[in-house]
Amino acid sequence: MKTYYIETYGCQMNSAESNSLEAILQGAGMTACYKQEDADLAVINTCSVRQSAENRIWGRLGSYNPIKKKRKMTLVVTGCMADRLGEELKKKAPQVDYVVPVNDKMKILDIVRRGENCNSEKYEFSETYWHEGEFSSYVPIMNGCNNFCSYCIVPYVRGREVSRDPEQILREIDFLESKGVREITLLGQNVNSYNYNGLTFPQLLSTVCRHLNNIKWVRFESPHPKDFSDELIEVIAREGRVAKHLHIPMQSGSTRILNLMNRRYTRESYLALIDRIRSRIPEITFAVDVMVGFPGETEEEFRQTLSAMDMAGYIEAYMYYWNPREGTRACSMDGQMPESDKQKRLQILIDHQLEAAAKIKAGRTGMVQEVLVLSVSRDNPSQMLGRNEHNEMVAFTPAEGTEKPAPGSIVNVQFLLLTGNTFVGKQV
């Protein structure tokens, strides 16, 4: 086998693992190709978090049928869908050669060469998840989840929580610094429940920040509100390298619905957490996950979600409606809503949030902020595209009389106006 093609769906962890798998394949002398029909080895790294994600993957699998009739190719399905369906997947899609569970994702090349699966019981972390040329990199620090939210398939496909050795984490960070990486995101399905032989997430975050030299910002995804301690808030406030932009999923603004979801916090405790963080770190901004149309959600409870969004004040939101997942408790709950009603509520939520976020962002114009330069703007080659500490994108004009700043550099940019979700600015 000389060429490979990887398709990745779903979460940031999947993206990180695909990066690591690609490094393994390249280390074995294989070359990436940009068309699936040119690949000797094709890998589809799947997601099962929503039925819509699986539906898309079934469609993609169908596209490999005519290719495999024309030429020899090995097709591998891995990721959460592989764990959920196992060998049943091959009965529906016989063009698939191997179904590889999450725990064996990094062993795909060995599996294909040997012609048999490993079925490892333990998840093992890779040495690095960096993708060549990137200035931002994911650093997985834990895998799995112990929470069993009633709508979520993750604990069933990723397994119980496993935390990564902090020494391995620091070695990877040293490697990333040697490659010119300027920001990292510590990853985990429930990142702030990290615990390695008594070392907690706040302690790890502090250790990481004090270990850094050239990396500008540290982010983390995704924390659980119930595990967001005052100690963690203090670390975020104290350590200048922690980006002052936090993604804290809420899911619902109704305590009753949160209880049905098995989220183990209330509307009041969630909003109190947001208030404590904002009181301690006034410059903080927030992102959120929100679900509507959960079984039994009333119109009043939906309105409670809208009001909680207003009270918290988010500049980013990942919004979706309840999508049944076979094997989860919510799938069999009473009060399942028609698809049309869920879509209607989602559109109201999206419109509401976009208007609220635009007002918050408009109030941030005029500020001079540090920006990580990413690339030349595709829309206007005379401008550069960058991202600030608050995960806001800006297309900016380089300072007059100077060359364009190189991708990976940090520059000061004045944010002048907002167009859609992107700011327009100028380097100062």
- Looking only at the bridges linking them, the beta strands covering 142-143 and 162-163 are antiparallel
Residue that is written with structure tokens 């650093």 in the block: 139
Neighbours of 361 (CB within 10 A): 19
Domain covering 368-427: architecture: Beta Barrel (2.40)
In contact, 356 and 313? CB cutoff 8 Å: yes
Q: Is 213 helix (H, G, I), strand (E, B) or coil?
A: coil
For the chain, percent of residues with pLDDT exceeding 70? 100
pLDDT in tens, 318-343: 999 998 888 899 999 999 999 999 99
For the chain, percent of residues with pLDDT exceeding 90? 94
Residue 329 CA to residue 327 CA, distance in Å, equals 7
pLDDT at 49: 85
Q: What is the CATH number of domain 136-362?
A: 3.80.30.20
- Whether residue 262 is predicted with pLDDT greater than 90 in this model: the reply is yes
pLDDT at 68: 93
Residue 199 CA to residue 143 CA, distance in Å, equals 16
Q: What is the CATH number of domain 3-114?
A: 3.40.50.12160
Per-chain mean pLDDT for the chain: 96
In contact, 8 and 40? CB cutoff 8 Å: no
Report domain extents, the chain.
Answer: 3-114, 136-362, 368-427
Largest distance between two CA atoms of the chain:
66
Q: The pTM is what?
A: 0.94
Report CA Rg, the chain: 22
Between 13 and 52, the higher pLDDT residue: 13
- Whether residue 422 is predicted with pLDDT greater than 90 in this model: the reply is yes
pLDDT at 235: 98
Contacts of 144 (CB under 8 A, 6+ apart): 123, 154, 155, 158, 159, 160, 161, 162, 189
Task: Tell me 332's DSSP state.
Answer: G
Joined together, the tokens standing for residue 283 give 């410059």
- Whether residue 17 is predicted with pLDDT greater than 90 in this model: the reply is yes
Contacts of 249 (CB under 8 A, 6+ apart): 222, 223, 224, 225, 288, 289
- Whether residue 393 is predicted with pLDDT greater than 90 in this model: the reply is yes
